Structure 1
């Protein structure tokens, strides 16, 4: 007798308040576009927001749904043409390179354009593999070359290197090491770590850093990975190091709590201002939160209570009593002091809107009856 073991269903755990801000930035931008008279006049844009949970299987599932619809079964009474049309003309995301790669491979088959605001892997510039992938943030190819030149500028020719064991970290570090070799920079070690790997791997990387003779270290790591590494290093701090960071963590305020990174340097996406965005974020009430599973989770996670009228409440959690004040939250959702990547979401949304405008509008006149395929966008 043979047994078939099905993979366990993938679930999301926790919530990333910064990512919620990114999602709401797209929502804000679409509302702004819909209120304009010079861009897509008379046309109302809609949207769907899905959580990939920084998980490849979930990202692929969402990509399939965006390409083919959400009907669980095929209705043989409908024409095939109804199922052959993509449910969306364009997609914004993902925030990470690995999930963006998975989504791009899927959407590329259907000719659906994808615009990422934060996937920086140089590999995604390969149009033969990712023909419908675009982004509003530069490729790591440019950042790696700039970091190598900066290291050379300060005369640091003996350095250590750590990276996330992911597409972002591996491709980014490969680009940096190639550029560093051209600049005459020697690398004592190059180690990798990913947050789901065994603790023994984390301890190994930390010990390599402690025993090294290089006093300068470059980290091509995601914020989540480097925080785990810094926490491990803080248990037995190494001699003072000059940290050099990639854009994912060099502007993260949470890194400052690790004193060893107080003087870290690197390149960041320029700061920006989005008028009206903070007010939009604050304009959230319990009734509005209940209209969206994402915002329901956000509200309940922020205030540690459950909203009245919602099902599936965990035992021991109190009901929200109406005194919750969103303006008092101290989490990244309301941090509008920099708006670096958030502005990349804003730009990505506008890029798609302008592309659609070019297809169906002539000046301020738009033809709602025009049909177009996603590849035309």
Structure 2
């Protein structure tokens, strides 16, 4: 699908050596509806509309910042390494806006966009956000393009920065990638929402899987960053609540992602993935992109020019380089690229739905009937002049469906229902990794129905389909009991013979550890005496019970704190002490009375 209008100011990356692009640095084919305020070191692509939506993506990587001496103007880190997958996310947002503008969802209203590249750099993230805030406080009569909401940012760490700056202004921010549990805190991030589940759901789902396979003794691996460490900490907490033990928590070294996946794949790994989605017409939209307009090299999308150079190994610059000159004859259909691979769209689909969530919120705002509105005294916001907090109200209340039967809505924390695909990493005949869906986790279902598995499709680390066991110790056989191992998790124990006077008649059941004195209490203590001595017998029984209680109170902590053979000694001491208590309290007074009578 070729771009049909060239109505905006372009901000392409300067070509090597300062040679001008043949497309030129600016192109304005018609009068701009508003003025775009930008920063010269921020790459962006803009298209005019009645309501402007901002996009915040990480299209490039950036080199670490050098030490600033402040003897000259500080330089921003260079951007490099164009990321085709991130470019697909950008195009998903643009495609959604084009669909919405060509539908009846927002009649008589056109959406525009201002999409920025944060370049994996916090300095640029802050600068872009401050630019958004500036447009919020500048009066509208200044004719400044004011983004009414933001799709992004591109990660949890960036969303935290952006969310804290935007929160006081209540500018809606909806992310398709940020998963940190911290962003659910509405006191800190009042205007943040997302179309991906919070990590809190993933940690709980991981613990549910461990319980599903009866894995009692497990280890955990985490990435060497806040995301990995916080996620595993939440998982450990959930697992321990369910009675599981963690043998270790190890940090993965910083290796290439592909190598890391291959190493884990050799272990028959199962993991979580965001739910895939399909976008009808999106593939045709991508492969029909062309960097030209009416026979000139002018495009609304400055990023497309850079993508074209990378994909077709050419250059738009008029220079003496050995690269061939780019042309518009090249066809993306003839190239198998990550950009045009729409078979496993996860973040792409989340970006698409985030854009539609804003459109549906605007639709509900536009359809408000004066006098029956949700605002103060039944008033409505005007689609041509509304406040950020008014759009945020509708966004939090929005409920809609796209394509599939799934319904998207947000809870009180701005989180959607958590839906994960459970995938098994399996090696194919070419020794490459395939990701086979073997289960689903859906938090919107009742708890007993949230996790569903196709266990027969899972290939484990030994190449079989038999579920491996994960125990520190096997259950104790009848006639033996558990003895905890000092310094090891509770799941680890030794099996030792039951001491005399105790029994265990089932595999894995705890032995009856009650001392014989307890059994003595269950027997009726009958002594035939005359009626005159009945009151004395009551006193003796009371003394028996008090002494027994003292022995029990001393026995319990002593028994818990001992291990191995020492537990048997403790039990024997308690039994003997209890027996002497009964004998002493019951018969010593009688023997004393008999002695006095004889004397």
Distance 1:98 1:334 in 2: 28
Say if 1:10 and 1:58, in contact at 8 Å, map to a contact too. no
2:402 aligned with 1:343, yes or no? no
How far does residue 82 in structure 1 lie from its aligned partner after superposition?
5.2
Once the 2 structures are TM-superposed, how far is the Cα of residue 10 of structure 1 from its aligned partner?
2.1
Q: Quick one: which of 60, 78, 84 aligns to 1:11?
A: 78
| 2:23 counterpart of 1:23 | no
Matched with 2:389 is: 375
Instruction: Give the equivalent residue in structure 1 for 2:247.
Output: 188
8 Å Cα contact 1:67-1:87 kept in structure 2: no
Tell whether the 8 Å contact from 1:40 to 1:361 is kept in structure 2 after alignment: no
Among candidates 187, 206, 224, match of residue 147 of structure 1: 206
Q: Hey, what does 1:62 align to over in structure 2?
A: 128
Structure 2 residue aligned with 1:93? 152
In structure 2, the residue corresponding to 1:190 is in which secondary structure? Answer: strand
Specify whether residues 322 and 4 from structure 1 end up closer, same or farther in structure 2 by C-alpha distance, changes over 3 A only.
Answer: closer
Equivalents in 1 of 2:337, 2:275: separation in Å? 21
1:260 to 255, 266, 289: 266
Distance 1:290 1:306 in 2: 15
Please show how residues 1-377 of structure 1 align to structure 2 within 5 Å: 4=70, 7-37=74-104, 39-69=105-135, 87-192=146-251, 202=254, 226-227=257-258, 229-230=260-261, 243=264, 260=266, 263-287=268-292, 290-307=299-316, 310=317, 315-362=321-368, 370-377=384-391
How far apart, in 2, do the equivalents of 1:110 and 1:82 lie? 19
Separation in structure 1 between the aligned mates of residue 146 and residue 238 of structure 2, nearest angstrom: 42
Distance (whole Å) between structure 2 residues aligned to residue 362 and residue 202 of structure 1:
52
Distance 1:12 1:155 in 2: 48
Query: 1:361–1:367: 8 Å Cα contact kept in structure 2?
Result: no
Please report the TM-score for the alignment, with normalisation by the length of structure 1: 0.73
Q: Which runs of 5+ in 2 are unaligned?
A: 1-68, 370-379, 392-599
Kept in 2: contact 1:67–1:86 (CA 8 A): no
Change (3 A) 1:83 1:132: farther
Q: Tell whether the 8 Å contact from 2:222 to 2:229 is kept in structure 1 after alignment.
A: yes
| Larger fraction in strand | 2
Aligned length, in residue pairs: 308
The offset of 1:302, in angstroms, is: 1.2
For residues 178-228 of structure 1, the C-alpha deviation after alignment (integer angstroms, 9 at most, x for no partner) is 1122233333333446xxxxxxx548xxxxxxxxxxxxxxxxxxxxx6435
User: Matched residues in 2 for 1:92 and 1:325: separation?
Assistant: 30
* Cα distance in 2, alignment partners of residues 21 and 157 from structure 1: 42
**Higher RCO, 1 or 2 (CA under 8 Å, sep at least 6)?**
1
Query: How far 1:357 sits from its partner (Å)?
Result: 2.1
Q: Which moved more, 1:25-34 or 1:60-69?
A: 60-69
What is the DSSP-based 3-state SS (H/G/I as helix, E as strand, rest coil) of the residue aligned with 1:50? strand
What's the counterpart of residue 247 of structure 1?
Answer: none
Aligned partners of 2:362 and 2:327: how far apart in 1? 44
Shift of 1:282: 1.3
Kindly state the Cα deviation for residue 321 of structure 1 after the two structures are TM-superposed. Answer: 4.2
In the TM superposition, residue 358 of structure 1 has moved relative to its aligned partner by 2.3
CA spacing shift, 1:202–1:45, aligned 2, 3 Å: closer
Distance 2:239 2:141 in 1: 53
Q: CA RMSD in A?
A: 3.1
Q: Conserved in 2, the CA contact under 8 Å of 1:123 and 1:171?
A: no
Q: Which residue of 1 aligns with 2:459?
A: none
Q: Deviations over 1:30-77 (max 9, x none)?
A: 11111112x11010000011112232222222212222249xxx9xxx
| Alpha-carbon distance in structure 1 between the residues aligned to 2:320 and 2:175 | 35
Gaps of at least 5 residues in structure 1 are: 194-200, 204-224, 234-242, 244-258
2: CA distance between counterparts of 1:282 and 1:149?
42
